[in-house]
Structure 1
Amino acid sequence: MSSTKMLEGVGQSPEFEGAAPEGEAHTLRRRLEVSHVVCLAMADASPAMAVLLLTAGVFQVGGTFGVGAMLILSVVVVLIAMCLGELASTYPSTGGSYSMVRSALPEPLAWITLFNFVTQGIVIPASLLLGIPIFLKNMLPWITVPNEVIAFVLLAISGAIAITKVEIGAKVNIAILFVQLIVVGLIVLAAIVAPVQNPVEIVFHPVVLENGQLVPLTLGIALATLAPAFNVLNGYDAVCGFVEELKGGAHDVGKAVIYAAILASILITIPLFAGVIAAPDLVAFLQSDAPIVSAVESALGPWASTIVNIGVIAALFNAALTLQMYFARGVFASARDGLWPPVIGNRLAELNRFRSPGWGVAALLVPSAFLIMMSSLDWLIMFAGTMIATVYFFVGIAAFWSRISQKRVPRPFKMPFWPLPPIIVVGFTGYALVTQTTDFLIGELVLAGIAVGLWALSKLWRKAA
């Protein structure tokens, strides 16, 4: 399908044969300020969760180069944000990354992006909510309710908030975000009060743990650390999922996503660096399942444990809620675009009485509830980094190709330093993908194969529509 056919309307989905009808029932309302969507993106980035939990996998792979990886990634995510900002202003659809790719590249690539995009909205909230009972029981050991039951209840609560007015979800997220900021501030305080490690050594002479011994970092290990790091410094792109509800619309989304990327980089990288500085023993630090938590407790004493537990619980719920709101809008946009069989798509393309995609939220909650019963989602969580890198890979290609092939299309926001941002993004994410371990590469190929297969099948129900 020609790319020019995909450019009809601002804030609407491209027209496809069999697409769900546009109209009041399928139109989101502009009720959010730039500050709201940036805070929603920060809730998705979830600094406390990223620093206290997600960094463990990065440190296990890359040792203290986890800090270096995040410093590098901080630059890359600003470049990604530039690509996202231009694409979101050019094709302002609530489908986020999926809609951007679909508006600029062939449809099979859009399906691959969609599956990598939405799968995160199923897997990650389930794993986050399963983590809450662990920290809750650390604070309140008398609780004996099974973790899965607690996670199910929290899934229902977060889902109930996600289907209400978007302003309610935004306000809840903003309130919880303040709790997270206190926690990451506590991590920085630990480095100031009790610094142990030399920051220069951490950055310029990173080490990894090998057979219980600290050894110098190798180039191969450094490269393998980059993709898992994507799962830590992520979420700023959630701004793009609320573009149709942003009062400034296409004009403001570009600067909003860049603000979010810069804030996420600062609020995640600095506390992570501080946590390593406060680590009393690097061997014990790198062996820990929650290295930053152990460093804070060692520096500030047992009283810090309670604050950390509260912060982690708030961060986990905060992120799960925002992810449900964000990815449900991607499901809604794909249904509005007519990608699914009418019997399913017509429901998913509806908005409820709160003008929110209630069926889109339900489409995520049901498989998430199933995954909660699995109890352990470690591999899927690590795989999330691969899915994120895949999405940004296609975003970079879309940002480059869109500027070349659709020169007459209005661009309310143009990325600076063109064409460096998309070239660097494609190169960086592409290399991060090819250096992944075999199991993650196979997982991505399977996901891409399913997506392309469904794209081919979709031609059948589009013809019948």
Structure 2
Amino acid sequence: MAVPALRRGLRTLGTLLITLSAISPASSVFVIAPGVLTGAGSGAFYSFVAAAVVGVFMAFVYAELASAFPLAGGEYAITARTLGRLPGFVVLGIMIVTQVLILAVIALGVGTYLGVLIPGLSAPVAAAVTCVVAGLVAVFDIKLNAWITGVFLAIELLALAVVAALGLLDPVRPFTELLTQPVAADGGPATVGAIVVATSVAIFAYNGYGSAVYFGEETQDAGRGVARAILLALGITVLAELVPVTAVLLGSADLGALFSAPNMLSHFVTERGGGTLDTVVSLAVALAIINAVLAIVLISSRLVFSSGRDRAWPAPVNRALAKVHPRFGTPWVATIGTGVVAAVLCFVDEQVLLVVTSTAIVVVYAALCLGAIAGRRSGATAHARYRMPWFPVAPVLALAALGFVLYQNARDPEIGRPSLLVTAGIALLAVVYYLLVRRRRGGWVLAEPVTEEPTAPARPDGDRS
């Protein structure tokens, strides 16, 4: 039986556009960054810088692993091939739950910002409709979707440039104050512990640059193109998020009023630019969130499709999820199903969604770091067209940073500790399902999709040419 194959219709630019749209810097700044500000106050600057350092380490790890295994299954497909099938299935369990939940979390921001134009708009209803429509649009050709996301991405980057200009062109406080006197949201000094806990949220705000790997089976020259897309996506994301957040902290007249505002970024834009500008920026952010939902549906559906192709579920479910549209070459059942499930989850309490997704990505990052080390030792990644510099510095330092973040989260009784417990619960359920169901039914089959012709091996210090 032939392995279901996706159409290879993307170049590196198209993969980069979808990846950046999934990260959605504007959504991260307007929807996720307030959580960092609430937790760390003006110390959020340090949280975003620390998250960027972790991001550099992880981008190197992602780039090498994605170059070796540019597969639609993403992190779980990589982990299964470097650490073994059971760890890979655990990562699949964590990713397939959290990825769709993240989609719902992002979509809920649509109602918040469209509410500026449509008073009384129900956020869950707006989010659910957005998810369903995105699921239908995502069925179309991947190249068309890349251009759609690219247009919306340009709009959101322009909105972020406006926010940055509002704060940086006429700052209220000097930059040195952020460095030497960071204050908490309650007015006291920002503690190291609070800044570190907020760093896990900042990591989540940057997260998504590794998502380029999900389009590895649809990207031409994937072994090199996907690695480049990952590294470029991280660099652009850090600039697009860190600069506006810094501008808000420097340009806000009253940090206490900023931190207590129901919508911090809207409060800042109104304060510095007036209500009309806030309305225009809010519309741009709503479009950015809609764009992010579309991009994340594209990503999540590849994960779901791959899980069906790898026979992770009962046979009828696997056959349905692995179906590829005969005209568009896209996983149409997995795509529509992802949109519908995410729409239902939009009606779940948002705090529950945040708890479930908060630390899961940290655990997945740790698995990839271990996979990068194991892949080098076993030779599993020897064919990668990109090799990270200074190995094993990046995975080792990333593991150290991730361990510290997990430790600080374990001390946080509000979100951090509950999130760790939920992530552990999901991992345990995945282990039980794998041992009692998948292994007893002939094992978990990792399908080998059709790949491009192999090319020359990589130089030890980076890209192959």
2:58 to 80, 90, 106: 80
- Amino acid aligned to 2:312: L
Give ranges in structure 2 of 5+ residues lacking alignment: 446-465
- Counterpart CA distance in 1 for 2:60 and 2:384 is 13
- Amino acid aligned to 2:162: L
User: Helix, strand or coil: the match of 2:384?
Assistant: coil
CA contact (8 A) 1:351 1:357 kept: yes
Aligned to 1:435: 408
Distance 1:364 1:409, change over 3 A: same
CA contact (8 A) 1:278 1:296 kept: no
1:103 and 2:81 matched: yes
2:12 to 31, 34, 54: 34
Deviations 1:96-123 (A, max 9, x none): 1111111101222212211222223311
Aligned residue runs from structure 1 range 398-409, under 5 A: 398-406=371-379, 409=382
- Counterpart CA distance in 2 for 1:74 and 1:221 is 17
Larger deviation: 286-295 or 223-232?
286-295
CA contact (8 A) 2:85 2:444 kept: no
Aligned to 2:99: 121
Aligned to 1:56: 34
1:389 and 2:372 matched: no
Aligned residue runs from structure 1 range 220-235, under 5 A: 220-235=193-208
Larger deviation: 154-163 or 432-441?
432-441
Aligned to 1:448: 427
Distance 1:157 1:89, change over 3 A: same
Aligned to 1:68: 46
Cα offset, 1:146, TM superposition: 4.1
Aligned to 1:190: 166
- Counterpart CA distance in 2 for 1:464 and 1:388 is 23
Distance 1:464 1:131, change over 3 A: closer
CA contact (8 A) 1:240 1:253 kept: yes
- Counterpart CA distance in 1 for 2:80 and 2:195 is 33
- Counterpart CA distance in 2 for 1:338 and 1:37 is 27
CA contact (8 A) 2:128 2:344 kept: no
Deviations 1:282-319 (A, max 9, x none): 11112223323212221112221112211221111111
CA contact (8 A) 1:56 1:289 kept: no
Cα offset, 1:407, TM superposition: 6.3
Aligned residue runs from structure 1 range 197-236, under 5 A: 197-210=173-186, 214-236=187-209
Deviations 1:263-300 (A, max 9, x none): 11111111111111111101111222332321222111
Aligned to 1:44: 22
Aligned to 2:274: 301
- Counterpart CA distance in 2 for 1:382 and 1:231 is 12
Aligned to 2:285: 312
Cα offset, 1:320, TM superposition: 0.9
Aligned length: 437
Aligned to 1:3: none
Distance 1:160 1:434, change over 3 A: same
Distance 1:408 1:285, change over 3 A: closer
CA contact (8 A) 1:342 1:461 kept: no
User: Helix, strand or coil: the match of 1:286?
Assistant: helix
Larger deviation: 67-76 or 408-417?
408-417
Aligned residue runs from structure 1 range 256-271, under 5 A: 256-271=229-244
User: Helix, strand or coil: the match of 2:353?
Assistant: helix
- Counterpart CA distance in 2 for 1:343 and 1:119 is 20
Identity %: 24
User: Helix, strand or coil: the match of 1:172?
Assistant: helix
Larger deviation: 186-195 or 55-64?
186-195
- Amino acid aligned to 1:279: S
- Amino acid aligned to 1:357: P
Give ranges in structure 1 of 5+ residues lacking alignment: 1-20
- Amino acid aligned to 2:226: V
- Counterpart CA distance in 1 for 2:59 and 2:204 is 16
Aligned residue runs from structure 1 range 104-183, under 5 A: 104-141=82-119, 146-183=122-159
Deviations 1:23-53 (A, max 9, x none): 4xx1112111111111111101101111111
- Amino acid aligned to 1:182: L
CA contact (8 A) 1:276 1:295 kept: no
Cα offset, 1:463, TM superposition: 5.9
Distance 1:289 1:120, change over 3 A: farther
Distance 1:289 1:393, change over 3 A: farther
1:283 to 251, 256, 265: 256
- Counterpart CA distance in 2 for 1:291 and 1:245 is 39
Aligned to 2:340: 366
Aligned to 2:324: 351
- Counterpart CA distance in 1 for 2:346 and 2:179 is 38
1:460 and 2:462 matched: no
Cα offset, 1:382, TM superposition: 4.7
Aligned to 1:252: 225
- Counterpart CA distance in 2 for 1:271 and 1:463 is 49
Distance 1:95 1:206, change over 3 A: same
Cα offset, 1:241, TM superposition: 0.8
CA contact (8 A) 1:341 1:461 kept: no
Deviations 1:199-229 (A, max 9, x none): 111133211133xxx2222222222222121
User: Helix, strand or coil: the match of 2:442?
Assistant: helix
Deviations 1:106-154 (A, max 9, x none): 222212211222223311222332331232231133xx56444333322
Aligned residue runs from structure 1 range 3-22, under 5 A: 21-22=1-2
Distance 1:356 1:407, change over 3 A: closer
> RMSD of the TM alignment (CA)?
1.9
- Amino acid aligned to 2:344: F
- Counterpart CA distance in 2 for 1:334 and 1:317 is 26
- Amino acid aligned to 2:271: S
Aligned to 1:424: 397
Distance 1:303 1:349, change over 3 A: same
1:242 and 2:221 matched: no
- Counterpart CA distance in 2 for 1:408 and 1:234 is 23
Distance 1:189 1:394, change over 3 A: same
- Counterpart CA distance in 2 for 1:149 and 1:287 is 27
